[in-house]
Structure formats: C-alpha cells, structure tokens
Structure 1
Amino acid sequence: MAVQQRRERERAERHRLIVEAARELAEAEGWGAVTTRRLSERVEYSQPVLYSHFASKDAIVAAVALEGFGELAAALRGARAAHVDAHAALRALADAYLDFARARPAVYAAMFVREIDVPFGTEASPAPLKAAFGEFLGALEPLAAARGDDPETLAEVVWSALHGLATLSAGHRLRPDQHDARVELLISRITASPAD
C-alpha cells in the first residue's frame, strides 16, 4: 500500500507542477506561448508524461481555470464576509472580482474567455465554479428577495456586468479614471430598493 500511495503522491505532484508551469508561462507570455514542448522543458518531464496527465493543452487550460475558480471563490468570500451591509458587501465582492481579473489576466482568460470543457450553470459544474458563483448568490439573495428577482438570474447579471467591466478595462476600452464611478454606479443600481 505504501508504494501505491507514494506513486499517487508523485502523480499528484507532477500534475500540480504542470498546472503551475502552464499558469506561470501564460501569465508571463500569454496562452499562445503554452505548448506541450515548452511545458515539458519547464517541468523536466517528457511530453508523453504530460499527456499521461492531460489529454491536450485545452485540458491543461481547464485545470488552470478550475484552480482559478477556487482562488476567486476564496477572494470573494473574504471580501464579502468582511461586511454586514449589503451595499458594502457587494461593493467589496465587485472590487475583489475586478482585482482578481486585473492581477491574473491569463488565469482569468482561462476561466472566462478561452473555450474550456467545463460545464457552467448546471448540476455538473465543478465545485470550485459553484463556490465562486455561490459567493455572488450569497451577496445577492437578500437583494433579490426584496426586489422579487430570481437570485440566480440576478447573480448572472451582476457577474456578466463585472465580466464586461473586467474585459473592457483589460482591453483599455474604458476611461481608467472612471473605474470607481462605474463600479459604484453598478452597485448602487443593484442595491437600490425597488421604490427608488
């Protein structure tokens, strides 16, 4: 049993190294620079070893994305938990989301821009993705209830709006000096009572 456990640990470590190398290379040079040849050189394993862990580059990108969803969920949870007020909690969540996108552009692209074989919005969605979405739900459920909105739909709309802000900001399509005003306008509209 000890030999089997050691092999499993070694395999898990190789898997981690490959994902880490892909992520580092993508952040430094973009996803176009991530090839199995370059990864093989970087982690010092042969290409067949890489293919024993991942069927393709797309599978490696998906692994990076799943890791990113776990990190995003933790960042959103920490931001949201620091505030009791619904407006402040949602603003902190929005800032954490946008900060994540800005600080990790290649990981963010793997999660939300590149095509990956990961089911979104279904029961089959992976746990890290559900956890990140769950943070949006946690922040928005009380607001949705007060407005009579479906919480998941409201969460999808807010997530979409933040994704748009992140993507347009990364592409230098928005006025940088208006970042805070845009985020505050979005949060104010979402948190306003229906009578406002």
Structure 2
Amino acid sequence: MAESPNFQTEMRRLLRDRMLDAARDVVCAEGWGAVNMSRVAKTVGISRPVLYKEIGTKQDLADALIARETDEFLTGIATTLVDYPDDPAGGMTAAAEYALRTGADNPLLKAVLSGRNESDTTLLPALISDPDPILGRAVRALTAVAREQYRLPGLDDDELTSTIEILVRLALSHLFQPTGSIERAVTQIGSVLRSLLEDAV
C-alpha cells in the first residue's frame, strides 16, 4: 500500500528539522566554521546525497537555519501584539522588547556574534545585511499582522510598510550592535513609534 502524500510530507519536514537541529547544535557549540555537510549527515544518520537533496548547499543550510529561527521570533512577536489589541504603539514597542530580550538569550545568535574565528562570519552577512531572510521576511510578516490587528486607517500600505521597516531596522540595530541597556533601546523605539503612529489610528 502506497504511503499517503501527507505522511511523506510530514516525514520530510521532520527530517529537515533534524538536519537543522544538528547544524544548530554545532554552531552553538563550536561556531559556524565547524559545520560541514558530512558532519550534519552523519549526525542525522543519512547520506550526504540525501542531505544535499533535501537542503542544498551549505549556504542553503545557513539560509534555512536563519529562516527557521526568524520564523520563531515572528511567532513570538505576533503573540505579543495580541496582548495590545487597541494600542498599536504599545504593542509594537512590546514586540520590539520581546525581540531584543529573546535575541539576547538566543544561543544561535550568541554563537554567530561571538566571532570565534574568521570562518564563523559566514553567517553574519545573511543576518545583518541581506534584505532576506530576516529584514524582508520580518517586514512582510509584521506589516500583515499590524494591518489585520490594528487596521490603521491613517496609513496607506506603503506608509505602513515603511513604519514597520523602521521598527524592524531599529530593533535589529539594537540587537546586533547594542550600545546600552535593553530598557534604553525599548524607550528609544517606543518614542519613535508613538511619533510615527500618532495619526494612524
């Protein structure tokens, strides 16, 4: 009897998660420079051809790892916004605080930013300069969530997208290059958001 497509899809998803978990564990313990496809395949218990078929290149592995981590952040941010149903500035400020505090405790982010050696910087361009998967992904997702939850009739789509991009850029800047406490960063972000959203509701 043939396996159902849903079962096959679920098995591939679980296998992909195991691959990403294996890579993440190595990054957190030894840095991105210690990650190689043979090691990941051996840890998962599969062949390298299977790993390449499911993931692609090592850069594809990095992109997939970052995308999954970003999605987990975005899920937490969306949940935070729900607690502020009638306060867009308050909700978005709380979302920024969530991102900063969660990021500060994130083992993968700590490992990448610690710069154990030069080869570890491979992940940094994708994290801080490539428009995707973090900046673009976050702006698209949070713009949709903000529009659905707050409506914000005073902002057209371009204006809302710009506002969310400012929020995301500020949060990423404080996350990757902190110059003070998280409380100080949240205060700064909140002040900017209140100004931007003053006439949006």
Alpha-carbon separation, structure 1, partners of 2:43 and 2:132? 25
| Pairing 1:131–2:141 present | yes
| Alignment correspondent of 1:3 | 3
Matches within 5 A, 1:41-60: 41-60=42-61
Alpha-carbon separation, structure 2, partners of 1:96 and 1:180? 11
Residues 88 and 119 from structure 1, CA distance in 2 versus in 1: closer, same or farther, beyond 3 angstroms?
Answer: closer
Query: Contact 2:127/2:134 (CA < 8 Å) preserved in 1?
Result: no
TM-score w.r.t. structure 1 length? Answer: 0.73
Given candidates 71, 94, 97, the residue that maps to 1:95 is 97
Q: Cα offset for 1:62?
A: 1.7
Q: Which runs of 5+ in 2 are unaligned?
A: 113-122
Q: Which runs of 5+ in 1 are unaligned?
A: none
| Pairing 1:156–2:157 present | no
Residues 34 and 133 from structure 1, CA distance in 2 versus in 1: closer, same or farther, beyond 3 angstroms?
Answer: farther
Q: Root-mean-square deviation (CA), in Å?
A: 3.5
Alpha-carbon separation, structure 2, partners of 1:3 and 1:146? 49
Residues 60 and 146 from structure 1, CA distance in 2 versus in 1: closer, same or farther, beyond 3 angstroms?
Answer: closer
Question: 1:62-120: CA deviations, max 9, x gaps?
Answer: 22222223212210111111113233212211111112322325369666337597597
Query: Contact 2:78/2:145 (CA < 8 Å) preserved in 1?
Result: yes
| 1:14 alignment partner AA | L
Query: Contact 1:137/1:155 (CA < 8 Å) preserved in 2?
Result: no
TM-score w.r.t. structure 2 length? Answer: 0.72
| 1:40 alignment partner AA | A
Q: Cα offset for 1:38?
A: 1.9
Alpha-carbon separation, structure 2, partners of 1:7 and 1:35? 27
| 1:93 alignment partner AA | A
Matches within 5 A, 1:1-196: 2-3=2-3, 5=5, 7-83=8-84, 84-104=86-106, 106=108, 112-113=127-128, 121=136, 130-135=140-145, 142=152, 145=154, 150-169=159-178, 174-175=179-180, 178-192=181-195, 193=198
Secondary structure of residue in 2 paired with 1:60: helix
| 1:38 alignment partner AA | R
Residues 107 and 19 from structure 1, CA distance in 2 versus in 1: closer, same or farther, beyond 3 angstroms?
Answer: farther
- Sequence identity percentage: 19
- Return the structure number with greater relative CO, CA threshold 8 A, min gap 6: 2
Query: Contact 1:87/1:187 (CA < 8 Å) preserved in 2?
Result: yes
Q: Cα offset for 1:167?
A: 0.3
Residues 129 and 39 from structure 1, CA distance in 2 versus in 1: closer, same or farther, beyond 3 angstroms?
Answer: farther
